A = this chain, B = another copy of it.
Amino acid sequence: MIILTEGNTNPVAAKTATSVIRYRREEVVAILDSQQQGGTSQELLGLGGDLPIIGQLDQCPDANTLLIGIAPAGGRFPNAWRLIIIEAIERGLNIVSGLHDFLSDDAQLSRVAKVNRVTLTDVRKNDQRRVASREGIREDCLRIHTVGADCGVGKMVTAIEINEGLKSRGHDAKFVATGQTGIMIEGDGCPIDCVVADFVNGAAEKLILDRQDHDILLVEGQGSLVHPRYSAVTLGLLHGCMPQGMILCYEVGRTAVHGMEQVSLLSLEKLVEIYEMMASAMHPSQIIGISMNSRRVSDAEATAERERVRKRLGLPVCDIFRHGPDDLIDAVLRLQIELFA
């Protein structure tokens, strides 16, 4: 596949691209951004090695899919991309999109896709119409939920890395994707932020009911309980998936809500209090560890921050990429023993 990030090839705007490259590198042949042509993924996104940035589709003739690699606030379709997508369709590429604006609802794109016999896949499209029941929940399935101080702090990658670590230690774990990028990586899940509000809790509960044959579920979190834009998504997901344990994710040095500089972030202590109170209103739950995203600071600063937060909160703390996820995996297994042994 080729990943389209036109004009947005940086780790924040191209969050989807970055994660797809991280976890499905072998399927990606190029990044399409005419403004950054000639560079490499490693230079611009900090991963992906020599994966090339191409300026035009004909520079990469062997792809069969174009994946839209950005996740803008509101999920709108940048209209400037229409011509690129039409060209891709005409070259026979299937299109995969995680935007709120569904490509398959666009009359022109649908028509062109039909003529060229390619598929338009809207990962966020869903028809969830189920309210939560609170029935049939398997109590000895351990549900771990990654929650956050904000968007874009590492809730998805924390769930994935813990899941991978548990599996490599021989445990029967499963990553439960709740956003478009997670679904692209895992191949299943529910785009919870695109469910009609009345059915968010029910859709999250269904994710659990359908997967509780596994011993441990790692449920990807969304937004934050105190996010001015997305707290509805966060609470519905939290209440629907009823975690016994939560891992709080934050970014070192971030002081305001991403994209809303006038809104300050809360302290980790306050976040622990809020998440534990709101989760436990539905099912007893505790924060069992802190996932610290330290991408913007040095090794020394990361080490110092890790020690400080460990001491302040009395919880395991690590940057899953810098330090590895073992401390958090151990915390999950301790909770499993505490609850079920």
Residues of chain B within 8 A of A198, CB atoms compared? 74-75, 100, 193-194, 229-230, 233
User: Contacts A274-B277, A277-B274; is A229 near B132 (CB within 8 Å)?
Assistant: yes
Determine whether A130 belongs to the interface, using a CB cutoff of 8 Å to chain B. Answer: yes
The answer to whether the Cβ of A129 comes within 8 Å of any Cβ in the partner chain is yes
Task: Check if A131 sits within 8 Å of B192, measured CB to CB.
Answer: no
How close is A140's CB to chain B, nearest CB, in angstroms? Answer: 19
- Tell yes or no: A85 within 8 A of B by CB: no
Q: Quick one: given A100-B129, A266-B281, are A236 and B134 in contact (CB under 8 Å)?
A: no
- Which of the listed residues A75, A199, A202, A237 has the most CB atoms from chain B within 10 Å of its own CB? A199
**A262 located at the interface, meaning its Cβ lies under 8 Å from any Cβ of chain B in the complex:** yes
A216 at the interface (CB under 8 A from B): no
Distance (Å) between the CB of A16 and the closest chain B CB? 15
* Closest chain B residue to A199, Cβ basis: B74
Contact between chains at A74 and B131 (CB < 8 Å)? yes
Do B235 and A232 have beta carbons less than 8 Å apart?
yes
Q: How many angstroms from the CA of A219 to the CA of B236 in the assembled complex?
A: 21
> Which of A194, A225, A228, A260 has its CB near the most chain B CB atoms (within 10 A)?
A228
Q: How far is the CA of A129 from the CA of B102 in the complex (A)?
A: 13
- Shortest Cβ distance from residue A198 to the other chain B in the assembled complex, whole angstroms: 4
Expressed in whole angstroms, the minimum distance between the Cβ of A201 and any Cβ of chain B is 5
Once bound together, how far apart are the Cα atoms of A100 and B227, in whole Å? 27
| CB of A44 within 8 Å of the partner chain | no
Docked pose: A129 CA to B135 CA in angstroms? 33
**Are A74's CB and B130's CB within 8 A?**
yes
Of the residues B133, B196, B201, contact of A196 by C-beta under 8 Å: B196
Closest to A262 in B: B134
Q: Size band of the A side of the interface?
A: 35 or more
Q: A21 contacts the other chain (Cβ, under 8 Å)?
A: no
Q: A196-B197, A197-B197, A278-B274 are in contact. Are A231 and B235 (CB under 8 A)?
A: yes
When C-beta atoms are compared, the residue in chain B nearest to A193 turns out to be B198
Q: Which residue of B lies closest to A73 (CB)?
A: B131
B197 touches A232 (CB 8 A): yes
| A205: nearest chain-B partner, CB-CB | B228
Query: Which residues of B are found within 8 Å of A235, using beta-carbon distances?
Result: 225, 231-232, 234-236
A292 proximity list for chain B (CB < 8 A): none
Given contacts A73-B131, A100-B129, A277-B277, contact A201 B282 (CB under 8 A): no
A263 and B100 contacting across the interface, CB-CB below 8 Å: no
Contacts of A260 in B (CB 8 A): 133-134
A266 to B200, CA, bound (A): 22
Bound CA span A129–B239, Å: 24
Bound CA span A7–B134, Å = 27
- Write out the residue numbers on chain B whose beta carbons fall within 8 Å of the beta carbon of A202: 229
Q: Is A1 close to B, CB under 8 A?
A: no
Report which of B74, B194, B228 forms a contact with A197, defined as CB distance below 8 A.
Answer: B194
A residues lining the B interface (CB < 8 Å): 73-76, 100, 129-135, 192-202, 225-237, 239, 260, 262-263, 266, 274, 277-278, 281-282
* Known A195-B197, A226-B239, A228-B282; further 11 A-B contacts with Cβ < 8 A: A74-B199, A132-B229, A193-B196, A193-B198, A196-B197, A225-B281, A226-B282, A232-B237, A266-B281, A277-B277, A278-B278
